[in-house]
């Protein structure tokens, strides 16, 4: 809701008007402060401004300087530009539209193979197809095809997701007016708005979209709706000299103005330039994947180097045999399917959120939503309904009339057709809108106008036949009309009531009444008497308070960030239980006041319940600073003014009814009114997060298990395991793990975070334990005859058993496949694995995969893999062996919790206490800031651009369709240089 109690029947942005002959009292009708026109802070007689200076407010503020200076500075007149000068300026300033970069689909697809995990698998593919071609052996085609298939699936999923992302640039461009009425060569004509230039004279009327930022040179009862740009809920009255923003809508009247800025230099364009400007960085989940990938790479790298040294230098392995061992570590150790598994998990989560009427446009935002600690919300249209309402609880009466009588009489004095926002709220307060004309005969109606600042109705009461008159409007105007009951006491009371309303951010609407003698409805009445004062406000949505309470219960703080005024924001905060500890936007520039309890601006932002009077840049800055302090931030909004912050936030949420610009910049779009869906989304995202965490522990554990296990076997027994069987294990594992996307898990009650130290600690413990299970089995088979003697089983080689017996390879394959998959039941549970029931899909997939593994073990005679089928006896031995080793896995988990994990958490708490004592903020890597771990991911955009130049694709390439760049600074620099070289003289003015 916008300004309050300033202009109750008209617009809210006008400064308080000095009513005629108001001598006694100054009623604090709540509104914006007057902003007096200024002059250019340079000598206009010698000025030689460059184009970039036009938008440097330290030198010139085209929005506030006097109109005469605007014409001088822009070298134009009220007759408009001529065609030649307009064409010249179009070439210099560029078109009046926002630009976006095109992208090459093929390079975009390839970009998803540009990350460390993929690099290792690509290296493995090269090893299989190129380096393995030696010693009279063909290339390793099975491994090569399997690896390429893995990479292609992963890239295809990522490519599909990104190609379907929302295009914020297009949405913002669509909001601009396609046509504009402009005066050129002294004649009015209609042209494409994209060819407007600074200095053009434009005209618009009711229903038109303002085509560019302009200063009005003529305004006739003009009212502009700029809620989507500034967050103010009511149309704003505009007068000569005022500024109108590009993209706003004319709701009333007609106007002429001079264009002061176009395209990316408009208020609208500056907001657009902030959307997605951090285009060379990655999201939160990608950073986590990078860190997990780094862990796996380091683990694999250490053991690959060790194998090269031991096998080639120590054991004198032949070239091809050594490569097979290295391929085992590369294929088995890299969790190449991790991005795919997590993508499927997130995609399923997005489908589940759709049931709650939430459309996810960037699925990785689901993971970030689970960790959100602060929810920043726009007010108008988000926390509130953006519909003015009469606050019945605060109606003041001053005569024999009741509150209901005051509402009824004020409804009489309202339009019932072609209503403005005030009339609508008053009439709807009746409940039955038909009562606004029931029982009366309308004789005369005077609608609101900016001069009188009130409406008036004269009517005949049908029941009595008496003539009566009612007026409503601005407090100071109405009280001057009241001659019948105006006393010093009444004025003091009215002044106090209006001031109380203003302090609470409520708009005051005064109502007066008089009777007429005779039948002449144009005659003077017996004198108006003040009968009531109505409070009008933008009410909170019905479910907003409960939503905020639920969010707080989930450990998420809510902050209001609104373009409305401070008093309105505080009142809304009090009504929602959000708190009224709020600040005006100027503190974001000035910082905390001297002597305040805050040492710096960051402390103030964290402590505040909200900020008022903010512009898009302020919202963006608030979110950015909170992220810099280690918070994951969500931002809700509905207007183009919210788009920059929605784009910057970890999770941007566009509410129901949001503009195309807001929806394009957001990660989640709500299709039902209210914010209750956000709470459902937070809970669902935490469920999804738990699934991803469970898989991450599992994937890291399997990496350690494969790498350490087969490296030790090769060092001790020169064990040459076939790489293709590792690929089969990976395929079966990943197929089973996909079902984690629908697994049953419980959401946490606090924001989630990726504690990678804990994840790696668990993974190390599980991996080493499973390694021991395999090595112990191999040692017993090779070093003893225990199984052969007890169970009557045999291998291809008689004792002493060959260390590379084909059946021994199959036994190891089966043992690794079964117990590795079984590990997921331990990692997914917090207690004993059998106490938390898995989903039917997970159980079914596990049973199916183990059935396939057992079938392969029983019948898989594949010569090129160096394995042979084993008997049912061996299969039974492996199953029993794995069950025996699986049971203690829960105790490994409990032991880790009681020792290592407990110590890690205590150390973290101790550090947090030390930080709190010193007052130095402990920061985490923020969402859009690159670090060494994800730098190899985050430069994907740069890689594509370089590749485009090298392979000759050319053109403009970008990785994300919603990315925008700061064209304004580029344009200003180029225009300044060009204009300096090519000065124009119009009417003897200085060059711009």
- Contact criterion met (CB below 8 Å) for 882 and 773: yes
Query: What counts of helices (H) and strands (E) characterise the chain?
Result: 36, 22
CA distance 619 to 660: 19
CA distance 935 to 819: 35
900 alpha-carbon distance from chain centroid:
36
Distances (CA, A) of 64 to 135, 240, 577, 612, 641: 82, 12, 38, 22, 21
Instruction: Using DSSP bridges, classify how beta strands 651-654 and 633-637 pair: parallel, antiparallel or unpaired.
Output: parallel
CA distance 901 to 912: 17
Residues 6 or more apart whose Cβ sits within 8 Å of residue 438: none
3-state secondary structure of 258: strand
CA distance 549 to 375: 12
Q: Which helix (H) or strand (E) holds 28?
A: none
Q: Pick the catalytic residue from 143, 324, 378, 538.
A: 378
CA distance 842 to 825: 9
CA distance 754 to 931: 16
3-state secondary structure of 685: helix
CA distance 458 to 467: 7
Instruction: Using DSSP bridges, classify how beta strands 396-397 and 557-561 pair: parallel, antiparallel or unpaired.
Output: unpaired
581 alpha-carbon distance from chain centroid:
25
Residues 6 or more apart whose Cβ sits within 8 Å of residue 228: 175, 247, 248, 638, 639, 640, 641, 659, 661
Closest by CA position to 214, among listed 195, 191, 198, 194: 198
First to last CA, the chain: 39
Joined tokens for residue 640: 């183009």
3-state secondary structure of 408: helix
- DSSP of 55-109: G-TTT--TTTB-HHHHHHHHT--TT-B-HHHHHHHHHHH--SS-------HHHHH
- Contact criterion met (CB below 8 Å) for 13 and 236: yes
CA distance 873 to 214: 87
Phi, psi of 897 (to 5 degrees): -60, -40
For residue 124, count other CB atoms closer than 10 A to its CB: 27
Residues 6 or more apart whose Cβ sits within 8 Å of residue 894: none
Residue with tokens 């689909």: 105
- DSSP of 174-242: HTS-SEEEEEETTEEEEEEGGG--TT-EEEEETTPBP-SEEEEEEEEEEEEE-HHHH---S-EEE-TT-
CA atoms within 13 A on the CB side of 310: 17
Instruction: Using DSSP bridges, classify how beta strands 507-516 and 467-473 pair: parallel, antiparallel or unpaired.
Output: antiparallel
Q: Is 61 a catalytic residue?
A: no
Could you give the residue numbers annotated as active site? 378
């Amino acid at each position: 809701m916008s300004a309050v109690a300033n202009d109750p029947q008209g617009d809210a942005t006008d400064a308080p008007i000095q009513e005629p002959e108001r001598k006694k009292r100054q009623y604090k009708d709540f509104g914006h402060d007057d902003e007096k026109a200024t002059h250019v802070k340079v000598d206009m007689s010698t000025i030689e401004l460059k184009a970039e200076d036009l938008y440097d407010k330290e030198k010139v503020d085209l929005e506030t300087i006097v109109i005469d200076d605007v014409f001088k500075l822009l070298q134009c007149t009220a007759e408009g530009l001529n065609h030649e000068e307009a064409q010249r300026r179009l070439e210099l300033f560029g078109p009046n539209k926002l630009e976006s970069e095109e992208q090459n689909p093929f390079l975009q697809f390839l970009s998803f193979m540009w990350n460390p995990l993929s690099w290792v698998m690509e290296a493995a593919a090269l090893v299989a197809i190129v380096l393995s071609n030696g010693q009279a052996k063909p290339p390793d085609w099975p491994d090569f095809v399997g690896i390429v298939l893995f990479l292609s699936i992963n890239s295809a999923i990522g490519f599909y997701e990104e190609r379907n992302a929302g295009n914020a640039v297009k949405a913002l461009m669509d909001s601009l007016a396609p046509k504009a009425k402009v005066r050129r060569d002294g004649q009015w004509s209609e042209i494409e708005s994209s060819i407007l230039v600074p200095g053009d004279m434009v005209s618009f009327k009711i229903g038109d979209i303002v085509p560019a930022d302009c200063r009005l040179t003529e305004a006739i009862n003009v009212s502009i709706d700029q809620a989507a740009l500034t967050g103010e809920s009511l149309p704003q009255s505009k007068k000569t000299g005022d500024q109108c923003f590009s993209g706003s809508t004319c709701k009333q009247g007609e106007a002429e103005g001079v264009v002061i800025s176009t395209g990316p230099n408009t208020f609208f364009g500056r907001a657009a330039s902030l959307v997605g400007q951090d285009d060379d960085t990655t999201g939160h989940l990608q950073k986590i994947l990078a860190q997990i990938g780094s862990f796996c790479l380091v683990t694999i790298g250490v053991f690959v180097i060790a194998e090269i040294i031991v096998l080639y230098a120590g054991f004198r392995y032949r070239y091809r045999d050594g490569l097979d061992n290295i391929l085992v570590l590369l294929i088995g150790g890299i969790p190449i399917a991790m991005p795919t598994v997590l993508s499927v998990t997130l995609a399923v989560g997005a489908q589940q959120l759709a049931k709650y009427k939430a459309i996810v446009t960037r699925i990785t935002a689901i993971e970030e939503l689970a960790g959100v600690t602060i929810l920043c919300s726009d007010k108008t249209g988000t926390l509130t309904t953006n519909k003015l309402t009469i606050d019945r609880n605060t109606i003041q009466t001053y005569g024999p009339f009741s509150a209901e009588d005051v509402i009824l009489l004020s409804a009489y004095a309202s339009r019932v057709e072609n209503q403005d926002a005030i009339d609508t709220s008053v009439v709807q307060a009746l409940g039955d809108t038909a009562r606004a004309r029931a029982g009366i005969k309308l004789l005369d109606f005077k609608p609101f106008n900016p001069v009188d600042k009130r409406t008036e109705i004269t009517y005949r009461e049908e029941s009595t036949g008496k003539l009566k008159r009612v007026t409503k409007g601005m407090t100071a105007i109405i009280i001057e009309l009241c001659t019948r009951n105006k006393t010093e006491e009444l004025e003091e009371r009215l002044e106090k009531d209006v001031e109380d309303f203003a302090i609470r951010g409520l708009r005051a609407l005064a109502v007066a009444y008089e009777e007429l003698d005779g039948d002449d409805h144009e005659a003077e009445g017996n004198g108006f008497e003040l009968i009531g004062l109505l409070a009008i406000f933008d009410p909170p949505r019905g479910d907003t308070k409960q939503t905020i309470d639920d969010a707080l219960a989930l450990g998420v703080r809510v902050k209001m960030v609104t373009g409305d005024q401070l008093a309105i924001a505080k009142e809304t905060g009090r009504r929602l239980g959000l708190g009224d500890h709020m600040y005006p936007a100027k503190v974001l520039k000035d910082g905390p006041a001297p002597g305040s309890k805050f040492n710096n601006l960051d402390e103030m932002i964290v402590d505040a319940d909200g900020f008022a009077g903010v512009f898009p840049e302020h919202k963006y800055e608030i979110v950015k600073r909170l992220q810099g302090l280690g918070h994951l931030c969500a931002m809700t909004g509905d207007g183009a003014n919210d788009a920059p912050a929605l784009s910057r936030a970890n999770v941007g949420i566009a509410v129901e009814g949001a503009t195309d610009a807001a929806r394009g910049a957001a990660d989640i779009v709500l299709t039902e009114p209210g914010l209750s869906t956000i709470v459902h989304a937070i809970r669902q995202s935490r469920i999804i997060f738990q699934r991803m965490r469970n898989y991450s522990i599992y994937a890291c554990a399997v990496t350690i298990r494969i790498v350490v296990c087969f490296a030790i076997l090769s060092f001790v027994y020169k064990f040459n395991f076939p790489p293709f069987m590792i690929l089969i294990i990976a395929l079966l594992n990943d197929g089973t793990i996909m079902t984690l996307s629908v697994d049953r898990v419980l959401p946490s009650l606090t924001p989630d975070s990726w504690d990678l130290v804990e994840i790696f600690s668990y993974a190390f413990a599980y991996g080493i334990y499973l390694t021991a299970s395999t090595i112990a089995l191999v040692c017993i088979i090779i070093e003893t005859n225990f199984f052969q003697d007890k169970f009557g089983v045999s291998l291809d080689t008689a004792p002493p058993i060959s260390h590379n017996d084909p059946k021994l390879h199959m036994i190891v394959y089966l043992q690794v496949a079964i117990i590795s998959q079984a590990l997921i039941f331990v990692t997914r549970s917090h207690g004993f694995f059998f106490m938390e029931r898995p989903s039917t899909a997970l159980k079914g997939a596990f049973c199916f995969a183990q059935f396939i593994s057992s079938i392969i073990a029983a019948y898989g005679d594949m010569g090129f893999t160096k394995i042979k089928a084993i008997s049912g006896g061996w299969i039974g031995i492996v199953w029993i062996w794995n069950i025996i080793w699986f049971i203690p896995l829960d105790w490994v988990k409990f032991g880790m919790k009681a020792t290592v994990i407990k110590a890690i958490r205590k150390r973290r708490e101790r550090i947090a206490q030390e930080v709190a004592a010193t007052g130095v903020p402990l920061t985490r890597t923020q969402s859009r800031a690159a670090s060494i771990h994800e730098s190899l991911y985050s430069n994907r955009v740069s890689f594509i651009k370089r590749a485009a130049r090298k392979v000759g694709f050319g053109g403009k390439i970008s990785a994300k369709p919603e990315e925008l760049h700061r064209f304004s600074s580029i344009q200003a620099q180029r225009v300044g240089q060009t204009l300096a070289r090519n000065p124009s003289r119009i009417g003897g003015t200085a060059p711009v």
